[in-house]
Every structure is written in C-alpha cells, then in structure tokens.
Amino acid sequence: MEKVVHLFSFVKYDGIDSLNPRDNALLQQARKATSLAYAPYSKFHVGAALQLSNGIIVSGGNQENASFPAGLCAERVALATVSSQYPECKIEAIAVSYNNKTGASERPVSPCGICRQSLAEWEQKQHFLIKLVLGGMSGEVYVIESASLLLPLAFTAGDMKKGG
C-alpha cells in the first residue's frame, strides 16, 4: 500500500486592485457578466469571462430552467460560445464571479464539477493551460495557474482508449 498526497497551490489576493491589469480587466468582465445570468430560482447569478489568444474576451452567464437540472453554468455557456464562434483560438484564462441576490458575494467561487471537467478537457484539447481568476463582487481573489489543478484524477480521453 502507498499513500499518495496530491496538493496544489494558488495565489490569494486581497482584492481586484491587487491583480495585474489583464486579470483585473478579466475579473471585471466576469462581474459584469453576472448581469447576463437567468437565475430566477436560485437567485445566484454567475458570470464567466474567457480571455482568448486573439485578445477577444467572451462572456457568459448561468442559465437556469424550471426543468431542473436542464440549466447551464456560466463557464459552459462561455465555452460553447468560444467553440462555435472562435474554434481556432486558445483560451488563455477564465475569470468567474457571482452575485448572490439573497446573500453576500464577497469571497471567491469555484467552478462546479461539470465545469471543472469541461475546463480540464479543454486544456487537454488545446495543449495549453487555462489560468483561473476566481472572485466575488468584492473581497479576496484566487488565481490558479491551471484549470486541471481543480480536478485531480480527472477522467480523460486517454481513459477511453483501448489497451494495447
């Protein structure tokens, strides 16, 4: 038997003003994208902003549906937009923010499991790391150098290959 420990580190900033200008602008876009959310049930408005290799920023908001769980997370809305509108571009970074209409929005929020899987696979597909910038409408901000760090032991395309 062998015990395996998997650790990762990230950088914690006191607030958006401590970020470099590019990450600051991306998080501001994610905060703005919370207004794109359709979240009449949870009142939890999430915004995502993706920085593409061509300089364009693509945003998305979560989309709920009365036929739960038929909604989409903000991250996957933005990823789908990139896939259909800018398929040749690499995603360099994603910022995620939220506006909780029934509570505080003062600490970083992290992508859900499905979004973690989607981002990890996107990294693998494009052979390029995607930096994450995570924050609320105010407060601390986390910067993580690779989306794959959020999903250790991920299920990947390599797991589906036939043995040989």
Q: In the predicted model, is pLDDT for residue 3 greater than 80?
A: yes
Handedness of CA 23, 115, 152, 160 (dihedral sign): negative
- pTM of the predicted model over 0.75: yes
pLDDT digits (tens, 9 = 90+) for 68-82: 888 999 999 999 999
CATH superfamily assigned to domain 11-150: Cytidine Deaminase, domain 2 (3.40.140.10)
pLDDT of the residue at 164: 53
The catalytically annotated residue of 2, 64, 75, 121 is 75
Closest CA to 148 of 125, 124, 126: 124
pLDDT of the residue at 156: 85
Amino acid at 50: L
**Catalytic status, residue 2:** no
pLDDT of the residue at 55: 97
Q: Reduced to 3 states, what is the DSSP secondary structure of residue 36?
A: helix
pLDDT digits (tens, 9 = 90+) for 45-66: 999 999 999 999 999 999 999 9
pLDDT of the residue at 42: 95
pLDDT digits (tens, 9 = 90+) for 97-116: 999 999 999 999 999 999 99
Closest CA to 57 of 126, 133, 120: 133
pLDDT digits (tens, 9 = 90+) for 119-159: 999 999 999 999 999 999 999 999 999 999 999 988 888 88
